[in-house]
Structure 1
Amino acid sequence: MVKHCAGLPLAIVVLGGILATKNNSLNEWQKISDNVKSYLKRGKDQGPEDVLALSYDYLPLYLRPCFLYLSHFPEDYEIDVDRLIQLWVAEGIVSLKQEERDGGEIAEDVAESYLMELVKRCMIQVRERDVATLKVKTIQMHDLMRDICLSKAKQDNFVFIVDRSNASSLSMIRKVRRVSVHEFFFIQCIKSPNIRSLLFFSDFFPKEALEKSMLLEMWNYIEKHEDEVWNPLVWILATSVVCSDLLKAWGIWRYMFNNFKLLRVLNCELRSYNFAGWKLPSDIGNLIHLRFLSLRSFDFQWSKLPSSLGNLRCLQTLDLRVEKRRIHVPNVIWRMEQLRHLYLPRRCKSRTKLKLGTLRKLLTLVNFNTKNCYLKDLINMTNLRELVINSPFNIENFNEKELGKNPPIIGSKYLHSLSIVSNWIARPINPRHLAHLLSGCTSICKLLIDTKMIEMSELPEYHYFSSHLAYIHLKLCKFEKDPIPILEKLPNLRILEVEGSFGVNEMCCSTQGFPRLESLRLLNVGKLEEWKVDEGAMPSLQRLEIAECRKLKMLPEGLRFITTLKELKIESMPKSFKVKLEEGGEDLYKVKHVPSIIFQ
């Protein structure tokens, strides 16, 4: 069979993916071999790409729309798996009917299993995995496999793609259900009232389009005289341009909201800042069938979202992480009882106060804080899996003397990821508040604490941490006490990353500490001068990275006892530190057994 692949590695791998899904009996493999031969004899000039097409024909019916959906994404695009799964569920490609109550398998779990089937068949490539769970985080398509995907999607009229080949010549798009925009075009070209999904992967309203929409003489005059702040004509023309841009953006939003009333998916998520006009029109309330809405990275000049968002009762995913400025979010999100993934703005206006207690189906909650939300609402989110707290985080009516007398904060036994992020103007995190929060997170395996150089005197005692913790990242934490004696007692911790300055200059890893730690990264721990490692500590360590710890004098003696260490990476350290580890250096004997020592 390999000879039919013409030496193309991808075709060989994909063919192997087909075989891997079958029983290992000789008869099964013989059938596939015969099918490959007959398939390739259908026409002349057949090549290895036809083996790739065969992989689609062997897909079970439930996987075909999952694969075809990948045609939405541009070439070489790195696809976020969480976002892809949310789109699959919103479009009904993975049905919510498969969910069971009382903690049964949910649609996102089914979708993830579908994704892994495509991975096993080698039809998509894994780009990044989660460091704690090893689940796939991002994927990508090989160019040849993407060509097959586009070809099949076109045959089935699965999606209409606006790209460089047709963006400039489009006059009218009719009878399409899905549109994916890779290149800017005027949205008014879409005349299909039955459109179900609209995904943008290019600038919503790029500067080039704005320039083309103006009179060339006007634009040239502004560019030529832009430094003449005293020139009234420049001010008049510039003001006219701004007003024109705002009106055009307003017209695009209103056209979508008033003509595509059957939309289920509106993904305007871009990976950089994008001009969005004056404000989001209240007409968005017309999209009552919407399941997925992302406005990430958009910049509205008016920082208030319309209260008509409350009409979107069917929403499952809502991403409001708009660009830079503080946003006022009206208290209407509580009406969206079908919400499963909620991403709030990074910074809200002080008058924003959101009730979220009705969102019992919520799986993801990002940018929650106790200033703009009610802490008590977290107890109702019994299905929550991921929580990102963006400070401030304070507990009212807290019993300082006895933690056990305080009511629990988290109501979900499925929470596996917790992030606590402080901004530069937040108050210090109270360690006892943190201890009480962590005591209810009995299932988390990932923990990120980023205090932005705000002093947090110490970590809570180790018994407040989940025994399932596999990954901890401490960023910019100015601890007054060494946190290592607490962290090293965690039985299943595999990855520890310490980034930024501790308030201590000495760190000690004791015997039998960190029993399962595999990776340790010390990045810019500015005050660290001495590091001690006792014999028997970190018996499973495989990777060690030390970067920008400029006061650290030498590597600890105890590293020579860690026989499992496979890689040592030294980056941006003083020359004297490096010299000690080179041939003939006084510290080389400590790491001479390490196969890979990398200096950068």
Structure 2
Amino acid sequence: MAVAAYAALLSLSHVLENVQLPARRSRLHLDTQQLQSPQEKVEFLRDFLELHSQKRSQEMEDLGRQISIVADEAEDIIDFHVVYQLCEGSNDHKSDPVAALSSFCQDIDRVVEKIDSIMKGLMKMEEEWGYVLEQKPVASLLPSSSTPLVSGKNTMLGFDEYLVQIMDELTRDDSDLRILPIVGMGGCPYPELEEIGKSIAKGCNGLPLAIVVIGGLLAKSNMTQEYWEFVIKSLTSFSNSEDDEHCSRVLSLSYNHLPIHLKPCFLYWRVFPEDHQTCPFDLIQLWLAEGFLKPVKGKTLEEVAEQYLKELIDRNLIIVIDQGLSKPPGLVMHDILRDFCLREYRKQHFILVPRIQHVSFDEDWINMCFICRNHSTLESLDLPEVNVTSQSTSLASLLVCWTCKNTYSGLSRLRVVRMKYFENNSCEYLHPTRLRCLKILNRVDMEFTTSYAVILPLLWNLQILNTPFLEVLPSEIWDIPQLRHITSTVLILLYPVVIQDCTILENLQTLTYVQDFKWTDEVIKRIPNIKELYISYSENNVEWSYYCLYNLARLHKLECLKLIADDFLVEHIGFPSSLKKLELSHCRIPWEHMTVIGPEWNPVEGEFLRLEELMIYNSNLVWWRAENIHFPNLKLLRLYSMHKLQEIPLSIGDIDTLQKIELRRCKKSAKDSAKQIAEEQHNNGNESLQVYVDWDKVIVS
């Protein structure tokens, strides 16, 4: 139960941080000083589990169970008070703030008493173990978020002499080839461990997956003879097992030595079906929503998640599939490892309530599970519904599938709010107030409703809003400070209300696709850390200066920008030098007057030092004057339907990092220049650059 306890503590720590954000204080009657005590105790318990999670005893099992229950109870209490106080703020019925504060303090005090009782048990256990209670775990040294997901050197320690045997077993069919890139056979860096490494390899009984996983364990272990001999002893203890059982025990050995901060993320793979492939962005969003990530000073939670993912990859627990430039890598897991996740999750059962909800507007949407939209094996569940206008609670009857009922043991403790998505019909959804990720699965033309504006702030833990098509997002969205990702194919975003003490969306990193939006000083101030921004414009009867596109240059954390302009003349635009990916589509741009990217484009050295991908579609660009020094880190150049472009600057081919050039439906002279670049680079010994013209790869003989 240590994993369940650790995950519950992490989730609670995020809730405690969220409720104390400056934007909350003006609307809630909470004693933030009183919250410091449970926050410190939660951090203490979390540190304790990081130190002692590998201890196996009935006391540890009981301790983990108690921590999980109390942490979830604390989350529920905070949610109760926050939701009802936010309800008061949205109507004219005001209760006594002193009474509200007193009630909150009493409930928090009861939780603190329970935590204190648990901590007394910890002290007794540590006295028995002989450890010092104040001992702190060694901090994880997280490298920069720019560290690639696949490390350059993958080491399978001590297995050189068994390379042929392993290779034969790994390459029996095409599907097994996926394992090869992550295995590596770098040899043992410590001669004194060489013989031990050979014995460990033999102890894997020639099972490829066992070898891969144990290799990942050793690569991340202490390089000491004592530890490696412990691994041999563990392998020898089940050497007479059948292959399936032997492999399962090897996986258990590796899992037991996995740092506890990685265990919830690893076990979470059980939510995916067999042979499922996902991408890093989607997986990280799920980890964020569940609250699995421990904050690290100076890093975003997304950067922490990238490091967690890299650690799991380096340990050979997740496999990376390279899908080429401009596509995110694919992530898969061996079926046997996934089965292990399923079994271990049933033991830990560490997700008590749903924090991710899938909404579908299918014809039969009423007869679906309100959490996952499953149709099968449904049963009725009554949950308290918060009525915003009357501040009362009634019971709402919902359908829940058998899978969700068995996954979330704390379902009965949820409270829900009713959101009306369409003004002219009765399409309403009930959302848990503890929701962190809302995904609308199918494309519908949703209308702006007053219900949406009132209810959305009550989802006060919401971090991710994902919808295929949302016509209007109300201005209240600017008052949800913990939002991290808002994605849609078409999004009309209402402007924030200008006030002196405005909410800064410091966590917001993704915003797509915003239509016909004006980037005022007020807006730029509220999204200082945005990293990915997609914008589109379809109104041609407005002066382009009105949209303040020159202010985009002030988004100093922006890494990915996509702009669609529907063949309108786009003026007064600027781009920040932080960009790594720039996509311009259907933009008639007066290139000579551009603020940063300067019918002729003359870029200036130093403006695009970080740009890795440049994609221009359906543009009016005629002459492009550039040198390789203007784009020193460019990896991909893609030009589609550039009917006026005369040529690509030949010096573009001299960019050391450039891997691929793609041209489609361009002027013949531009195609010829691309072919000339391919030929010149080939003659200069550059075999890595790939050039494609109208889907065909340019072959230089």
- Bin the TM-score by the shorter chain: 0.5 to 0.7
- The residue number in structure 2 matching 1:74 is 273
For residues 535 and 499 of structure 1, the distance between their equivalents in structure 2, rounded to whole angstroms, comes to 15
- The residue number in structure 1 matching 2:614 is 497
1:120 pairs, out of 314, 323, 329, with: 314
**Equivalent position amino acid for 1:140 in 2:** V
Determine if contact 1:542/1:564 at 8 Å carries over to the other structure: no
Query: CA 1:182 to 1:567, structure 2 compared with 1: closer, same or farther past 3 Å?
Result: farther
- Measured after TM superposition, the shift of residue 445 of structure 1 is 3.0
- The residue number in structure 2 matching 1:201 is none
Once the two structures are superposed, residues 90-139 of structure 1 have per-residue CA deviations (whole angstroms, 9 ceiling, x without a partner) of: 434335xx466xxx44444434333322122111123469979x9x7653
- Measured after TM superposition, the shift of residue 260 of structure 1 is 4.8
Quick check: 1:156 aligned with 2:348?
Answer: yes
- Measured after TM superposition, the shift of residue 503 of structure 1 is 1.0
- The residue number in structure 1 matching 2:436 is 291
**Equivalent position amino acid for 1:543 in 2:** K
For residues 477 and 507 of structure 2, the distance between their equivalents in structure 1, rounded to whole angstroms, comes to 18
Q: Within 5 A, what are the aligned runs for 1:548-563?
A: 548-551=665-668, 552=670, 554-555=672-673, 560=680
For residues 457 and 628 of structure 2, the distance between their equivalents in structure 1, rounded to whole angstroms, comes to 59
SS at match of 1:188: strand
Superposition CA RMSD, Å? 4.7
For residues 546 and 327 of structure 1, the distance between their equivalents in structure 2, rounded to whole angstroms, comes to 34
**Equivalent position amino acid for 1:321 in 2:** T
Q: Within 5 A, what are the aligned runs for 1:66-465?
A: 66-94=265-293, 98=295, 104-127=298-321, 139-157=331-349, 184-188=375-379, 252=399, 260=411, 262-263=413-414, 279-281=426-428, 283-284=430-431, 287-297=432-442, 299=444, 304=449, 306-307=451-452, 309-310=455-456, 312-319=458-465, 321-323=467-469, 327=471, 329=473, 332-333=476-477, 336-343=480-487, 346-348=490-492, 353=494, 355=496, 380-388=504-512, 390-394=514-518, 409-411=524-526, 413-415=528-530, 417-425=531-539, 430=544, 436-456=550-570, 460=574, 465=575
Quick check: 1:518 aligned with 2:669?
Answer: no
- Measured after TM superposition, the shift of residue 27 of structure 1 is 3.4
For residues 254 and 7 of structure 1, the distance between their equivalents in structure 2, rounded to whole angstroms, comes to 42
Query: CA 1:107 to 1:289, structure 2 compared with 1: closer, same or farther past 3 Å?
Result: same
- Measured after TM superposition, the shift of residue 392 of structure 1 is 0.8
Query: CA 1:35 to 1:114, structure 2 compared with 1: closer, same or farther past 3 Å?
Result: same
Query: CA 1:395 to 1:343, structure 2 compared with 1: closer, same or farther past 3 Å?
Result: closer
Q: Mind listing any 5+ residue stretches in structure 1 that lack a counterpart?
A: 161-177, 195-249, 267-276, 359-375, 397-405, 583-587, 593-600
Query: CA 1:300 to 1:72, structure 2 compared with 1: closer, same or farther past 3 Å?
Result: farther
For residues 535 and 131 of structure 1, the distance between their equivalents in structure 2, rounded to whole angstroms, comes to 17
**Equivalent position amino acid for 2:467 in 1:** R
Quick check: 1:16 aligned with 2:207?
Answer: no
Determine if contact 1:485/1:509 at 8 Å carries over to the other structure: yes
For residues 638 and 243 of structure 2, the distance between their equivalents in structure 1, rounded to whole angstroms, comes to 56
- The residue number in structure 2 matching 1:166 is none
Once the two structures are superposed, residues 200-249 of structure 1 have per-residue CA deviations (whole angstroms, 9 ceiling, x without a partner) of: xxxxxxxxxxxxxxxxxxxxxxxxxxxxxxxxxxxxxxxxxxxxxxxxxx
Determine if contact 2:516/2:539 at 8 Å carries over to the other structure: no
Determine if contact 1:119/1:126 at 8 Å carries over to the other structure: yes
For residues 688 and 426 of structure 2, the distance between their equivalents in structure 1, rounded to whole angstroms, comes to 54
For residues 20 and 32 of structure 1, the distance between their equivalents in structure 2, rounded to whole angstroms, comes to 13
Once the two structures are superposed, residues 233-286 of structure 1 have per-residue CA deviations (whole angstroms, 9 ceiling, x without a partner) of: xxxxxxxxxxxxxxxxx9759999xx95634999xxxxxxxxxx96542654xx
Number of aligned residue pairs: 450
Q: Mind listing any 5+ residue stretches in structure 2 that lack a counterpart?
A: 1-199, 353-368, 385-396, 405-409, 418-423, 593-597
Determine if contact 2:277/2:330 at 8 Å carries over to the other structure: yes
For residues 206 and 243 of structure 2, the distance between their equivalents in structure 1, rounded to whole angstroms, comes to 19
2:626 pairs, out of 502, 509, 512, with: 509
Determine if contact 1:85/1:112 at 8 Å carries over to the other structure: yes
Query: CA 1:302 to 1:384, structure 2 compared with 1: closer, same or farther past 3 Å?
Result: closer
Determine if contact 1:453/1:478 at 8 Å carries over to the other structure: yes
For residues 235 and 283 of structure 2, the distance between their equivalents in structure 1, rounded to whole angstroms, comes to 31
SS at match of 1:184: coil
Query: CA 1:13 to 1:412, structure 2 compared with 1: closer, same or farther past 3 Å?
Result: same
For residues 213 and 557 of structure 2, the distance between their equivalents in structure 1, rounded to whole angstroms, comes to 37
1:479 pairs, out of 562, 583, 589, with: 589
For residues 350 and 245 of structure 2, the distance between their equivalents in structure 1, rounded to whole angstroms, comes to 25
SS at match of 2:209: helix
For residues 137 and 78 of structure 1, the distance between their equivalents in structure 2, rounded to whole angstroms, comes to 10
Q: Which moved more, 1:552-561 or 1:65-74?
A: 552-561
SS at match of 1:530: coil
- Measured after TM superposition, the shift of residue 565 of structure 1 is 5.7
Quick check: 1:468 aligned with 2:578?
Answer: yes
SS at match of 2:265: helix
Query: Taking every aligned residue pair, what percent have the same amino acid on both sides?
Result: 24
**Equivalent position amino acid for 2:556 in 1:** T
For residues 304 and 238 of structure 2, the distance between their equivalents in structure 1, rounded to whole angstroms, comes to 32
Once the two structures are superposed, residues 494-552 of structure 1 have per-residue CA deviations (whole angstroms, 9 ceiling, x without a partner) of: 42332322213333333644333333222332332333425995354333233332533
Query: CA 1:492 to 1:39, structure 2 compared with 1: closer, same or farther past 3 Å?
Result: farther
- Measured after TM superposition, the shift of residue 23 of structure 1 is 2.5
- Measured after TM superposition, the shift of residue 17 of structure 1 is 0.7
- Measured after TM superposition, the shift of residue 21 of structure 1 is 0.9
Determine if contact 1:265/1:293 at 8 Å carries over to the other structure: no
- Measured after TM superposition, the shift of residue 146 of structure 1 is 1.0
Once the two structures are superposed, residues 313-341 of structure 1 have per-residue CA deviations (whole angstroms, 9 ceiling, x without a partner) of: 43232425254xx6455555456444444
- Measured after TM superposition, the shift of residue 295 of structure 1 is 2.4
SS at match of 2:663: strand
Query: CA 1:564 to 1:477, structure 2 compared with 1: closer, same or farther past 3 Å?
Result: farther
SS at match of 1:61: coil
For residues 548 and 144 of structure 1, the distance between their equivalents in structure 2, rounded to whole angstroms, comes to 47
Determine if contact 1:86/1:317 at 8 Å carries over to the other structure: no
TM-score w.r.t. length of structure 1: 0.61
For residues 386 and 86 of structure 1, the distance between their equivalents in structure 2, rounded to whole angstroms, comes to 11
For residues 456 and 414 of structure 1, the distance between their equivalents in structure 2, rounded to whole angstroms, comes to 25
TM-score w.r.t. length of structure 2: 0.53
Determine if contact 1:488/1:509 at 8 Å carries over to the other structure: no
Determine if contact 1:78/1:139 at 8 Å carries over to the other structure: yes
Query: CA 1:99 to 1:261, structure 2 compared with 1: closer, same or farther past 3 Å?
Result: farther
Query: CA 1:139 to 1:192, structure 2 compared with 1: closer, same or farther past 3 Å?
Result: farther
SS at match of 1:531: coil
For residues 534 and 330 of structure 2, the distance between their equivalents in structure 1, rounded to whole angstroms, comes to 23
**Equivalent position amino acid for 1:288 in 2:** T
